[in-house]
Amino acid sequence: MKEFFFGKTDWKSIRIIVVIAFVVIVILGLIPIRNHSSHHTPIWRSTVQVRSMVQGAILFATNQDDKMPTAGQWPQELINLGIIESDLLVSPLHPDAQDPYIYVPSGYQVFEGDFVNRIVIYEHPDHYQEGVVVGFADARAEVIPHDQFEQMLADQIAEEASRP
C-alpha cells in the first residue's frame, strides 16, 4: 500500500480497494430494500399475530387437559394468564375494527383428529381482498383464498356438528 500512495502502481492494492468499495456499495444499496421488504407489510404482521394467538391457545390447552379455550375463555382468559398480549387483538390490516379476529371453538383436544387443517382463529374475511388470514391447530398461519376458506370452515362446522 505504501508504494501505491507514493507514485508506483500496486495493482493488488487497487483490486483490494475496488472489492471493498464494491462490498460497501452493495451493502448500502440493500439497506433501503430490506426496510421495504414484505416482512413489514400489514398482511405479514397480521399473519404473525394470528400464529401467535394460535400458539397461545395451544399453550393454554397444555394446562387444560389438551382442551382448547372455549368461546367464553377466548381471548380474555389468555390475556389474564399472560399467554397473549392484548395488542395482538388489534388488526394491522384494520386497526379500528371491532373484534377483527374470530375464534373457532372446538370440542376436539389439541392434537385430536385432523388437527393440521383445523381452523382455530381467522381474521375477518373482509379485511384482506386477496384472502383470509387463518391460524390452524398445528400452530401455522397462512393466507387462504376466500372460496377455499369458506369451504374449509363449512366442512369444519359440519364435522363438529356431527360429533357425538
Please write the tens of the pLDDT for every residue from 80-124: 999 999 998 999 988 998 889 999 888 777 677 767 788 999 999
Single pTM value for the model: 0.73
DSSP string for 81-115? TTSS-GGGGS-SS-TT-SS-EEE---SSBTTSSSG
Instruction: Count Cβ atoms within 10 A of the Cβ of residue 48 and give its class: 0-12 exposed, 13-18 middle, 19 or more buried.
Output: middle
Top-confidence residue, 77 or 19: 77
Average pLDDT over residues 141-164: 91
- Whether the per-residue pLDDT at 8 is higher than 80: the answer is no
Please write the tens of the pLDDT for every residue from 30-70: 665 554 455 568 888 999 999 999 999 888 888 888 888 88
Average pLDDT over residues 146-163: 91
Q: What is the pLDDT, as a whole number, of residue 107?
A: 73
- Whether the per-residue pLDDT at 19 is higher than 90: the answer is no
Q: What is the pLDDT, as a whole number, of residue 11?
A: 64
List of residues 6+ apart from 72 with CB closer than 8 A: none
**Which range (10-24, 25-39, 102-116, 137-151) has the least confidence?**
25-39
Q: Which residue type occupies 23?
A: V
As a dihedral over the C-alpha atoms of residue 39, residue 42, residue 46, residue 52, rounded to 10 degrees, the angle is 40
Instruction: Count Cβ atoms within 10 A of the Cβ of residue 140 and give its class: 0-12 exposed, 13-18 middle, 19 or more buried.
Output: middle
Q: What is the pLDDT, as a whole number, of residue 53?
A: 93
Top-confidence residue, 29 or 79: 79
